[in-house]
Structures are given as structure tokens and as C-alpha cells.
Amino acid sequence: MHEGRTVFAQLMDWLPKHELAKCVKRYRGDFHVRAMSCHEQFMILAFAQLTYRESLRDIETCLRALGTKLYHSGIRSRASRSTLADANEKRDWRIFSDFAHVLISQATDLYAGEYFGVELTEAAYALDSTTIDLCLSLFPWATFRRAKAAVKPHTLLALRGNFPSVVILTPGSVHDVNILDELCFDPGSFHIMDKACLDYGRLHRLHRSGAFFVTRAKRNARFSRRYSHPADKPAGIRFDQTVTLSGFVSHRHYPDPLRRIGYRDPVTGKDFVFVTNNFIQPALTVASLYKSRWQVELFFKWIKQHLRIKAFYGTSGNAVRVQVWVAIAVYVLIAIVRKRASLPHSPYTILQILSVTLFEKTSLFQVFSENQPVSETPGMQEEPYLPGFLTGQ
């Protein structure tokens, strides 16, 4: 029962607070802290994400206007922008990174049986990055171009449920292929990536770990064909070959055989050439896996539209990372609540409802039962099609 508690307080009850306490203790986040513990800092930043606050002054004004509701929602410290700015500047961002990974682990278990459009029993991940533009004079550490700054969240997205299993935040000048050096690959899992991550030396390390990759071949790639497999041409498979790299340097970096698949999209008529180290799955499954990589692009579009990761509350690297990780934690928390409470709403609808009901003293379940999802007519969708969790399907 809610017993007169606010919706925000009930939502925060879904957080594993003991796990957050472990993360805080691990990095001594509350050592010599007089005001605003790490737990309260997380709650304030979560409030800012859920209500679309744009600045520290905006957060301070809105929180002070709530009066006693704020105290009874679990935020006991005086919410001044200077205190929050100092917390974002000094508290180790790894506290919120580790806590977000705890939530990701829980959500991954909840959505383990989700269908993502491909008949596959193994785990599948999509690797990509997006660029968030910044002002060079305010973020000089975020090197990108001569007159421009940016950061890149390099994301390894679990396709079952569309959860970021790994997020590495770097300055915009860091190339995508370098992130392959930071990842650990689970044996038997599939990793789908675009041509920006095509480095045969790094892909061979992935191959030796027992994992699989699917990517597109570059136009100037040189192969020697060893064997041609039967191709399902009515389904769009143009060829299915076992090949080796014939270039001197590329063959030295990747001496093992590869599988080369040609595919023509029956809808657009475009031709694609895929390269993979998996020789077991049907060629059409490999093509479908690469097509599902688009989910990571839609994930980036979704979080840029509905979470606060384009305007930052601080200019230091630590403050930016704190805000990004709290945004990811809020994103995953909504997914957990939606799954465990069996809510029929899409995440977009859940966020919109919460943004205007956070400090109402009513049951969390009543809030959503009184706001049933509206059936959408073609051409009037609230959000783009996103498979799995993002659409509520």
C-alpha cells in the first residue's frame, strides 16, 4: 500500500538500495560528506530526468517548490544548486556506473526470453556509438574537432530487451574500433557491428574468444574463395561462400577462414555483403541479425529524445559521466518496473505519465490504471517503431 506516499517515493522503492550502498562504500562516496549523500544525489538526478529539468537552477527551483513532499519522498537535504554541482563534480562517477550495471543485470534476467525478430537461442549484441555535441570552450577535455567538442557513448546493446550491457563514454575523437580493445566477449554470443569496427586483428581476438561477429565487408576487401555453399536466392541470398583474406597484411591479422554472404534486400533492392566467422547459422539468419543492428540506432534516438543527455548540469568529465549513468539507470529502472508490474504502456507513455504525477499521493498502480494506453491510428504514432522493450511489444 502507498499509505499517502508520493508516486516518486513508490518508484524509488523498486531500486535495490543495498546494492547502491555497496557501490557507494566501494568508492567511499559518502566519506566526509555533510550534506546530500550519494543516494540523495541519485534521487535528485533521477527526478531531473523524469521531469525533464534543463539546468541546476531549474532543479533547485522545482524541488524547493515541493516543500514537505520532498522530505517525505526521501530527499532530506536542502536541494541547492551549489551542493548538487559539487556532488556531481567530486563524487566518483563509477558509483553510478556500477549501480546502473546492477540494474542492467536485473533487467537482462527479466527480458531473457524476449523475442527480437531473429530465431536465435544465443545472446546477441549490437555495438555502435553516437555523438553528443558540446561547446569547446566549456568542455575542453572532450576533444573532437578543431572548433568543436563532443562525447561518444560507445554502447553494446543487448538485442533481447534493448538494454545497454556496456557503455563506455569517451571524447568524440576516439574512434569506434578502439572500443573492441575494452570489451570482453562471451563464448557463443553474437556481436553485430558496422564497418567502422572492421579491424581484422581485433576481430581475430574476438574469434579466438569463442564469440561470433557479423559485419559488412568493405568495397576494397580482397578475398580468396575456397567453397561456395547453396544459396537461397528466392529469399534474397545472392551467394554464401567460405573465403580467406588475400591481402598480405589482412591475412596476417586474420589467417582463419571467414564466411562471406551476399544479400539483396527484397524491399529496397539494395545489395549487402556480410562477413562473419559463424558457419552454422543459415545465411538468412545472419542477414537478419545485421538488420536488427538498427535497434541500437533507434535506442540512441530514443534516449536523446526522452532523457536528459544532450544538455548537461556540469562541464567536467566526472559530472557528464554521472549524468549519463544516472540517465541509463533511470531508463533501465522504468524497464524493470514495467516488466515486474506487467504494465501495458510503452516507456514513452510511462515517462509522460510520471512527469506530471511524480508527487501525487496516490498508488503507483492506480496512476497507470487510470491512464490506459491510447490505441494509435496509422500515421499518428507517438514514437518510432522500436522492437521489444521500447514499444511495449
3-class SS letters over 140-194: CCCEEECCEEEEEEEEEEECCCCEEEEEEEEECCCCHHHHHHHCCCCCCCEEEEC
Place of cell 534516438: 301
pLDDT beyond 90 at 211: yes
Counting beta carbons within 10 angstroms of the beta carbon of residue 203, is it exposed (0 to 12), middle (13 to 18) or buried (19 or more)? Answer: buried
Label residue 362 by pLDDT band (50, 70, 90): confident
pLDDT beyond 90 at 245: yes
Supply the pLDDT for residue 166: 85
Out of 107-121, 270-284, 299-313, 368-382, pick the least confident. 368-382
Supply the pLDDT for residue 209: 94
Three cell numbers written together for 21: 550502498
How far is it, in rounded angstroms, from Cα 18 to Cα 31?
17
How far is it, in rounded angstroms, from Cα 257 to Cα 244?
5
Label residue 381 by pLDDT band (50, 70, 90): very low
Region 274-292: mean pLDDT is 93
7-32 confidence digits (pLDDT tens): 898 999 999 999 999 999 999 999 98
* pLDDT winner (highest mean) among 278-287, 301-310, 375-384: 278-287
Supply the pLDDT for residue 121: 83
pLDDT beyond 60 at 108: yes
49-90 confidence digits (pLDDT tens): 998 888 899 998 988 888 777 777 778 777 788 899 999 999
Q: What are φ and ψ of residue 265, in 5° steps?
A: -65, 120
Percent of the chain scored above 70 by pLDDT?
Answer: 93
pLDDT beyond 60 at 115: yes
pLDDT beyond 60 at 315: yes
Q: What are φ and ψ of residue 371, in 5° steps?
A: -125, 70
247-282 confidence digits (pLDDT tens): 899 999 999 999 999 999 888 889 999 999 999 999
Nearest to 331 by CA among 191, 162, 192: 162
Supply the pLDDT for residue 384: 40
3-state helix, strand, coil in the chain (%, to 5): 45, 20, 40
279 vs 391 pLDDT, higher one: 279
pLDDT beyond 50 at 1: no
